[in-house]
Chain A
Amino acid sequence: MSEPLLRIEDVGVTYGKGATALSALRDISLDVRSGEVTLLLGPSGSGKTTLLQVMGCLLRPSQGRVSLHGQALHALDAEALSALRLAHVGFVFQHYNLFPTLRAWENVAVALDLKQFPPRQQQAAALQLLERLDMGNRANHFPAELSGGQKQRVAIARALAGKPGLILADEPTAALDGKSGQDVVATLQALAHRENCAVVIVSHDPRVEPYADRVLHLEDGRLVDDRRRHGNQA
């Protein structure tokens, strides 16, 4: 079996100190591999978002070890963590987090600019990504002119800029209607399977589970279930 893209070992995250300390994650250990869709389930306050922050190099755990692409995070400063995120992680947010003053293709181009794509090639590359997500005809629209599903597709295109190995999606269907939500999850699944990237989805949405290769259950900051699904929806 190949080396995991992301390895989490005995990770704990505690907010605050002393009597007011709150454990958000306890003794979490898991590997995330390329080509898989991993679904993180759990009730509110179970630590899903905290775990996503740890996976995305946005939060250093209070204990344990995290390594992404073989690089241990605990020794890295904020700028080095940024560089690691830039190189290997793409984010898809619940509320899209698109830049409202930029057109769809410009939103994607900003991500390419961050990855130091040659300026002359940014527009063409951004349009190509939008075409892949069937958003080519909306490339010149501002986010306010797009539907929720279209916005999320632009957000996925932006997350894909520069071909990151890991895509982290936080409740990507929460703000979408049934059809749009299913389309978005199907797109994420296709990315994982066809382009061999690892996709981790945090969701409450039962419509997501059929698309997952693996389902993790969190409760009170602990990983209580880790099961692989076979014959998922393709």
Chain B
Amino acid sequence: MPPSPALIGTSLLAWRNLSHDRARFIVTLIGVGFAVLLMGVELGLLVGFARTTSGLVDHSRAALWITPAGTTNVDIAGRLDERRRFQALAVPGVASVGKLMLQFGFWKKPDGGNESVALVGFEIESDALQPWNLVEGRIADLQQQDAVIIDRLYADKLGVKAIGDTIEINSQRARVVGFTRGLRTFTQSPYVWMTHRNALAYSRYQPEQTTYLLVGLEPGADVEVVRHALGERLGRVDVWKRADFARQAQKYWLITTGAGSALLLSALLGLVVGIVIVGQTLYATTVDRLPEYATLRAMGAPASYLNRVILKQAAISAAFGFSLGTLAAYVIVAISAYGNVAVIVPWWLLVVLAALTVLMCAFGALISIRRLVRIDPSSVFA
């Protein structure tokens, strides 16, 4: 007696149809896997870019951001006067208002050569925003007059090897006291963290100026009510809820630069490539086996039975191809952790990729199903 079967009926036919021709099956899997990889990496880049563009906002603890009027993203903004801070503190529901300065500057490397950097001046005593993922040094060390923290990803670019290296920012001496890991910037001007006081010294800001005010709320305060009240009280500023400002920053960089549409287009291309590959290989398999499908039809198989065989072939291709593609995508995700460009594939993107793979294979199967609809069972006697 043969061993008990793991597969029967349409599942068995589908699996054997595919696995019998191994070369074609491998080509199908590589095709689907490549399409999944392409979609995964492009969409992962999109997620990575989106998170990079709004990283400062996402990692702040402020409920509201007060920005100069007309601000479109967190990296480029005008200036605010410090008196705005006191006006904001007078609004009911406001518990704290921290200052954050963001200003581009010139970084002169120890061995010569300049790089553009983004100076991030924050209030060390406030928890509204502080550098995260600190891997070397301490935030408290920033209290020294010339102290800065940079990210390890950009250390080579900035000519820095270790804590204690000195450089110049806007022609003034600065010293690296710590490193973060993974704080990327979309503008490719690395963030250089320092106290707000030091940032004023390195920039051309007046002592009473800043870029943003980060508002913390009293417990129980309604964020929307406070936002509205701040807008009315301060005038000629924009008041954003944190998530809204993050979304605006993402929208600005991904849409205005065209980066978002380019990545989406590439992902779409991956989908099309996948549909073509799956469609072509499934169709070739179907055409090769037309006499068998005609036999099934002659035996009395309803059209739905034949369609199930094709759809299961598509599902098998999808499952194996998806596993192959996501495995490769995660290798790239792991490698990207050490690069300037982040590829991020969170669990929900994995679900989206799985859905796209199923969609891709189902569309690929349609061509074969259309062919089988026209099959003539009497051809078995031809």
B-binding residues in A (CB < 8 A): 49, 52-53, 56, 58-59, 79, 82-87, 89, 91, 93, 97, 99-103, 105-106, 109-111, 113-114, 119, 122-123, 127, 139-140, 158, 170
Q: Which residues of A contact B112 (CB under 8 A)?
A: none
Q: Across the interface, which residues of B come within 8 angstroms of A100, CB to CB?
A: 20, 292
A101 touches B20 (CB 8 A): yes
* B381 neighbours in A (Cβ, 8 Å): 49, 52-53, 58, 93, 170
> In the complex the two chains form, what is the Cα distance from A59 to B233 in whole Å?
85
A97 and B291: CB pair below 8 A? yes
Q: Is the CB of A82 within 8 A of B295?
A: no
Listed from nearest, the 7 A-B pairs whose CB atoms lie closest are A86-B300, A113-B9, A101-B16, A85-B300, A58-B378, A101-B20, A97-B295
| A110 to B380 Cα, complex, angstroms | 17
User: Which chain B residue has the least Cβ–Cβ distance from A86?
Assistant: B300
| Interface residue ranges of B292-324 to A (CB < 8 Å) | 292, 295-303, 305
Given A53-B381, A58-B378, A86-B299: A102 and B13 within 8 A (CB)?
yes
In the complex, the answer to whether A79 meets B302 with C-beta atoms within 8 Å is yes
A53 touches B378 (CB 8 A): yes
Nearest CB in chain A: distance from B252 CB, A: 56
Contacts of B5 in A (CB 8 A): 106, 109, 122-123
Seed contacts A106-B5, A113-B10; 18 additional CB < 8 Å A-B pairs:
A82-B303, A83-B300, A83-B302, A84-B300, A91-B299, A93-B295, A101-B13, A101-B16, A102-B13, A102-B16, A105-B2, A106-B12, A111-B299, A113-B8, A113-B9, A114-B300, A114-B305, A122-B8
Most B Cβ at <10 Å: residue of A82, A93, A119: A82
Cβ A101 vs Cβ B300 within 8 A: no
List of A residues within 8 angstroms of B9 by Cβ: 109-110, 113, 119, 122
Chain A residue nearest in CB terms to B373: A78
Once the chains bind, are B2 and A82 in contact (CB under 8 Å)? no
What is the 8 Å Cβ interface bit string for chain B, positions 1-44, against chain A (1 contact, 0 not)? 11011001110110011001000000000000000000000000
B contacts with A, residue count (CB < 8 A): 28
Q: A53-B378, A113-B8 are in contact. Are A85 and B298 (CB under 8 A)?
A: yes
Q: Is B377 an interface residue (CB 8 A)?
A: yes
- Min C-beta distance of A69 to chain B, whole Å: 13
Kindly list chain A residues whose C-beta atoms are within 8 Å of the C-beta of B16.
Answer: 99, 101-102
Cβ of A96 to closest chain B Cβ, rounded Å: 10
Q: Min CB distance, B153 to chain A, in Å?
A: 52
B91 nearest CB across to chain A (Å):
70
A-B CB contact pairs (8 Å), 10 listed = A86-B300, A91-B380, A97-B291, A103-B2, A109-B5, A109-B12, A110-B12, A114-B300, A122-B8, A123-B8
Q: Given A56-B298, A114-B301, A140-B2 in contact, is the A93-B12 Cβ separation under 8 Å?
A: no
Q: Which of B1, B8, B17, B297 contacts A82 (CB 8 A)?
A: B297
- Docked-complex contact A123 and B2, CB < 8 angstroms: yes
